[in-house]
């Protein structure tokens, strides 16, 4: 299987704080890959580097074989590499359907397409995906009034609406009530298997990530600590030490 994201020797520091140091990893196309690590280990910084939120100090990031580390956020997004935010970001003043329609992929649109009104297919896709995440009943409500968990689901549906080839999810289950988490795991897996979207997931909930991912990377103090299958990671003494603070 070919790799879709190739990160090699990436370093990023903010002033004196080294957030990422010599990080290398690959995400294989069509898989679910996990990224774990204690708080402050540099996971979100790495995500931000990949999607172009800030320039990296050194190293290279490739998406589908092309260097993207010099591109801007929207250029990377238009190539089909999308991310969701740890602090959920939706358009709070609009209802669910409007949020979905806004998320149509503009990379596939010329300005003349953009100047058309939304088609029946657009609405049907929006409804279908809202149903997929279980928000169909709430689709006409102002999305800012939804609960935090529902907003996360909405953001996930919006990302799917954008038809990405690869989706970076920053803690998709944080703040979601435990009974909903199983449903979410199922949906993430189905997004991967049914829509063929490669997922790269930051997750603190070990049960979730061990359930989903085929391969897991573990960061600690900005460095790559371990990588392997869920089983290997679970039994890796370094990972356990890092989480228990012995590092």
Partner 1 sequence: MTKNKTMLYAAIMAFTFISPFLFPTYGTQLATLWLMIIVSLTWDMTGGQMGYNSLGNIFFYGTGMYVAALVTIGLTYDVGEYTSAAGGGIYEFTDLQYFGGMALGVIAAGLFCSLTAVIIGSLTFGLRGPYFAIGTLGVAIAAGELVSNWDWVGGGQGIALPVYPGDLDVGKTFFYFLFAGVGVATFIFCKWLYGTRFGAAINAIRDDEEKADAMGIHTLRYKLYTWAMAAFFVGMAGGISAFQLIHFEPLESAYQTINLGIFMVVCVLLGGKGTLWGPVIGAILFHLFKEITWNYLLGWQWVALGALIVVTVVYFQDGVMGWLEHKKPEWFGIRVEKKAVGDSK
Residue nearer to partner 1 on the CB measure, 118 or 243:
118
Contact with partner 1 (CB under 8 A) among 2, 8, 54, 73: 73
Least Å distance, CB 138 to partner 1, is 8
Residue entry with tokens 């898989």: 31
Enclosing H/E stretch for 185: helix 178-194
* 197 contacts 160 by C-beta, under 8 angstroms: yes
Spell out the SS3 assignment of 198-210. EEEEECCCHHHHH
Using CA atoms, how far residue 3 sits from 26, 29, 120, 126, 156, in Å, is 6, 5, 36, 30, 23
Contact with partner 1 (CB under 8 A) among 98, 136, 206, 210: 98
Residue nearer to partner 1 on the CB measure, 106 or 221:
106
Least Å distance, CB 103 to partner 1, is 6
> Which segment (32-40, 93-101, 194-202, 216-224) binds partner 1 by CB under 8 A?
93-101
d(CA 178, CA 28): 29
Residue nearer to partner 1 on the CB measure, 88 or 211:
88
Strand partners for 13: 18
Least Å distance, CB 121 to partner 1, is 12
Applying CB under 8 A, does 113 fall inside the site for partner 1? yes
d(CA 121, CA 117): 11
Least Å distance, CB 135 to partner 1, is 13
Nearest to 97 by CA among 134, 132, 136, 133: 136
> Which segment (39-47, 95-103, 222-230, 239-247) binds partner 1 by CB under 8 A?
95-103
Least Å distance, CB 6 to partner 1, is 21
d(CA 55, CA 70): 7
Contact with partner 1 (CB under 8 A) among 157, 158, 160, 219: 158
Helix pair angle (178-194, 148-161), 10° resolution: 0
Applying CB under 8 A, does 191 fall inside the site for partner 1? no
> Which segment (36-44, 91-99, 174-182, 187-195) binds partner 1 by CB under 8 A?
91-99
Applying CB under 8 A, does 105 fall inside the site for partner 1? yes
Tokens standing for 50? 């990949």
Applying CB under 8 A, does 237 fall inside the site for partner 1? no
Applying CB under 8 A, does 93 fall inside the site for partner 1? yes
Displacement of CA 10 from its chain's centroid (Å): 19
Who's near 168: CB < 8 A, 6+ residues apart?
A: 47, 50, 51, 81, 82, 83, 84, 200, 201, 202
What residue ranges bind partner 1 (CB under 8 A)? 51, 72-74, 77-78, 82-83, 85, 89-95, 98, 101-107, 109, 111, 113-118, 138, 140-142, 145, 158, 162
């Amino acid at each position: 299987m070919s790799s879709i994201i190739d990160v090699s020797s990436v370093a990023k520091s903010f002033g004196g704080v080294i957030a990422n140091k010599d990080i290398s990893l690959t995400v294989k196309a069509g898989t679910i890959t996990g990224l774990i690590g204690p708080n402050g280990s540099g996971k979100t910084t790495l995500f931000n580097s990949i999607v172009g939120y800030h320039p990296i100090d050194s190293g290279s990031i490739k998406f589908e074989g092309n260097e993207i580390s010099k591109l801007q956020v929207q250029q990377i997004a238009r190539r089909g590499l999308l991310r969701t935010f740890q602090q959920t970001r939706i358009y709070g003043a609009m209802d669910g359907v409007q949020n979905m329609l806004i998320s149509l992929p503009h990379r596939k649109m010329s300005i003349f397409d953009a100047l058309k009104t939304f088609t029946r297919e657009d609405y049907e896709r929006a409804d279908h995906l809202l149903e997929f995440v279980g928000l169909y009943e709430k689709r006409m409500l102002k999305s800012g009034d939804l609960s935090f968990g529902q907003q996360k689901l909405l953001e996930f549906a919006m990302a799917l609406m954008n038809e990405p080839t690869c989706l970076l999810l920053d803690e998709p289950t944080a703040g979601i009530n435990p009974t909903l988490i199983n449903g979410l795991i199922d949906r993430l897996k189905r997004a991967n298997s049914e829509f063929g979207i490669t997922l790269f997931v930051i997750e603190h909930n070990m049960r979730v990530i061990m359930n989903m991912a085929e391969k897991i990377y573990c960061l600690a103090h900005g460095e790559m600590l371990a990588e392997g299958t869920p089983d290997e990671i679970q039994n890796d003494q370094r990972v356990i030490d890092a989480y228990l603070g012995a590092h």
